[in-house]
Amino acid sequence: MSKHHTPVLLAESLDYLIGSKTGVYFDGTLGFGGHSEGILNLLDEDAKLISTDVDASAFEHSKKKFSNDSRMKIYNFNFQKIDVIAKIESVNVFDGIFADLGVSSYQIDSPSAGFTYRQDAKLDLRMDKSIVVNASDIINSYSEEDIANLIYKYGEEKNSRKIASRICEVRTHKKIETTSELSNLISEITSQRYLIKTLSRVFQALRIYVNDELDILKSFIHKAVDLLKMGGRIVILSYHSLEDRIIKDAFRFEALDCVCPKEYPVCRCEKESRVKILTRKPILPSQDEVMRNPRARSAKLRAAERI
């Protein structure tokens, strides 16, 4: 099974991220170590990189891969625990904080991980296997309305009601337990032309919901800003509009120096601007990169600097 994952927007990420070659850096989405390796290649002997991944296979693989590099510390935690990790490592502030959201090519290509409609596997979609509720539990127990709302909100899928109704019809005869069972029932009610997009949206919606990805991302960004040193940078790569909107809004909020209602004649809030946004518009991969690595197609990079 190939664990190959080509890091997306690598040169651009490093350009924004690395200020000091002797600094302390955090990679919240280690995966199979593509970006972490790029970061280490630019750092001096006395620098430090702390990387984490919630996925156990990524953690095990990268622990071996980087075992000879004493600058690197690796965790199997959710990046939301950046504050806990900083405490364990006695780090007060980071020079740079990085995240490359979503799932790795390995997770997508590995049938046992159950992340894709392309392979038959248990309908699971948990990145962290200690999460109690998986995708199959949701599909088999939530109300039709809740399933429809979830598919609409997190997948932006217009046919969410029709899909939820079909799910509830099918599950009265038999529990829906595999990725193929879910894909098949969706394909029965979707035209061939839109099938791939619809399947992607439904699986994306379930993955985001099961892993609570959007709330975790929001809380990670604010904690990360707390933990950046002055002039330190946060760089995040996202792959769909819901994530990108959260990053854009969180950076904008952190950049504001007043949140008083417009009708107040003078500012009464205590809000201070904590970052300068470095990317007014997100940085996108070049055509050449997308040709070499189709997974880069939907990537957007946003960066901000602590002030």
Ligand X SMILES: C[S@@+](CC[C@H](N)C(=O)[O-])C[C@H]1O[C@@H](n2cnc3c(N)ncnc32)[C@H](O)[C@@H]1O
- For position 78 contacting ligand X by CB under 6 A, the verdict is yes
DSSP string, 53-113: -S-HHHHHHHHHHTTT-TTEEEE-S-GGGHHHHHHHTT-S-EEEEEEE-S--HHHHH-GGG
Cβ-contact 303, 279 below 8 angstroms = yes
Minimum distance, C-beta of residue 106 to ligand X, in the bound complex (Å) = 8
By the rule CB under 6 A, 55 interacts with ligand X: yes
3-state SS class at 131? coil
Q: How far is the CB of 293 from ligand X (least distance, A)?
A: 11
Residue of 12, 72, 94, 104 that binds ligand X (CB under 6 A): 104
**Orientation of helix 34-42 relative to helix 10-17, angle to 10°:** 50
Cβ closer to ligand X: 52 or 198?
A: 52
Helix, strand or coil for residue 2? coil
Q: At a CB cut-off of 8 Å and minimum separation 6, what does 122 contact?
A: 114, 136, 177, 178, 179
Binder among 14, 16, 31, 114 for ligand X (CB under 6 A): 31
Contacting ligand X within 197-236 (CB under 6 A): 216
Give min distance, CB of 53 to ligand X, in A: 4
Please pick, from the candidates 34, 96, 114, 155, the single residue that binds ligand X as defined by CB under 6 A.
34
Minimum distance from CB of 127 to ligand X (Å)?
Answer: 5
Using the rule CB under 6 A, is 13 a contact of ligand X?
A: no
- Among residues 149 and 293, whose Cβ is nearest to ligand X? 293
H or E element in which residue 236 lies? strand 228-238
Locate 41 and state its tokens: 């290649």
For residue 54, the minimal CB distance to ligand X (Å) is: 4
Q: Taking CB under 6 A as the rule, does residue 58 contact ligand X?
A: yes
The span from the CA of 48 to the CA of 90, in Å, is 12
Which residue number places its CB atom closest to ligand X?
Answer: 34
Is residue 285 near ligand X by the rule CB under 6 A? no
CA separation for the pair 239, 102 (Å, rounded): 7
Sites of contact with ligand X (CB under 6 A):
5, 7, 28-29, 31-35, 52-55, 58, 78-80, 100, 102-104, 127, 216
